[in-house]
Structure 1
């Protein structure tokens, strides 16, 4: 691994201990609720009606995988480079009887066969760890069967610029939209190196991988809010998240 990746893996193995400490709470959330946001479900429902096989790149605690199965997915394979997160996610899925299995692996380069998925799902803090988005997009496209979809629900690339001040939205003086990286200074990824890309760069990476863009939307709400924080930047005036749906060409077998 390159130095930044090694540093990030150490940071996230430590952060993933949270999934172990909060195992019972996350189990209740997975059993009784749905971690997929309404905006995600609005876009995914037509895809989930066909009971797709799903690959979740950077699957984290795995609650989204259980929610995807509950919403109609036939099965989910989660890929994450945190062995701690994967172990907790697999235990939770097994306990709930959900059709989810997990693989520990660095991405891009998922150790899965070509054309194994009808849907590749990712986001919610995933793309910021990818050193080369074009390689990532090609790997995601490789996993898709003809007519399969890539779905991304992610923090908006501008969101790292906003301060968490509660009185007025402000831009951080130490960050810029066109920067290539910055060091995370908040929980849970404190000390990890986040990559930066513009929205145009993300879209162009997907297009360069040969996928057909079906939908892009930007939203004012963040996908995650830390407890006790009510930042003015999250109150509707600035972009904080986005969704992207793209299709692999060709007819389904």
Structure 2
């Protein structure tokens, strides 16, 4: 493990302790059925109606997994490189009686059998940890059964450029859309290095892995808001999230 990955892992372990401290709140959200956005439900509805087995790469606190099982998933396997996150998510899922299991591992190279997933779900702060998108996309394609789908709901690649000024949107002078990375100075903090990928790079990585794009959408709403912040960049004028749905064709080779 290189120094950047080691530092990022430590930062995410530290950030994941928040999900332990907020366990009661997260359980309440799970019981209320929250976690997935309406746009996610709309795009995933037909797939979840088939009772898929889902693999969630970079599963974090696991709240999305509980929502996926409530929405129709037969079972969810979450993979995350934080032992704190996977342990806390497993306890919640077990206590709530949900068909979720968690694997502590770094990605790409999920320690799961090829062709084990009907749906690979990921996002909400996942791709920022991936320096090599081609390797990530190849691992996704390996995990998917023929006819299986990839769904990503993620921060828009332009988001690192937006300031949190409340009077009007501005672009940070210390960042660029085509930069390879930047040092996180908000959450999860700790000096974590976030890898930057343009929207074109993300789409081309998926295509290059042999998957076919079915739908791509961009949204003005962020998936996460810092407490006590009302940034002008979040008020509908700029892209803050995107979603993509792709599939592994029935004719695709193993």
Q: Distance in 2 between matches of 1:6 and 1:228?
A: 31
Shift of 1:9: 0.4
The residue number in structure 2 matching 1:222 is: 222
CA-based RMSD: 1.0
Gaps of 5+ in 1: none
Residue 236 of structure 1: SS of its match in structure 2?
Answer: coil
**Distance in structure 2 (CA, Å) of the matches to 1:122 and 1:78:** 10
Distance (whole Å) between structure 2 residues aligned to residue 174 and residue 106 of structure 1 = 30
Any idea what SS the aligned residue of 2:131 has?
coil
CA distance in 2, matches of 1:43, 1:178: 29
Aligned equivalent of 1:56: 56
TM-score (norm 1): 0.98
Q: 1:251 to 1:34 in 2, by over 3 A?
A: farther
- What is the distance in 2 between the residues matched to 1:70 and 1:34? 10
Specify the SS of the correspondent of 1:16: helix
The equivalent residue for 1:136 is 136
Instruction: In structure 2, list runs of 5 or more residues that go unmatched.
Output: none
Distance in 2 separating the partners of 1:217 and 1:64: 20
Aligned mates of 1:126, 1:184 — CA distance in 2: 14
Q: Is the 2:121–2:151 contact (alpha carbons within 8 Å) kept by the matching residues of 1?
A: yes
TM-score in terms of structure 2 length: 0.98
Q: Name the structure 1 match of 2:243.
A: 243
Alignment of 1:114-193 (within 5 A): 114-193=114-193
Shift, 1:226, TM fit: 1.1
Deviation at 1:188?
A: 2.4
Q: Tell me, yes or no, if structure 1 residue 203 matches structure 2 residue 207.
A: no
Query: In structure 1, how many angstroms separate the alpha carbons of the residues matched to 2:27 and 2:39?
Result: 23
Q: 1:99 is matched with which residue?
A: 99
Distance 1:92 1:251 in 2: 39
Q: Is the 8 A contact 2:33 2:70 kept in 1?
A: no
Structure 1 residue aligned with 2:46:
46
**1:152-198 CA deviation, whole Å, 9 max, x = no partner?**
00000001100000001000000000000000000224410000010
Match of 1:36 in 2: 36
Task: Give the total of aligned pairs.
Answer: 252
Query: 1:76 is matched with which residue?
Result: 76
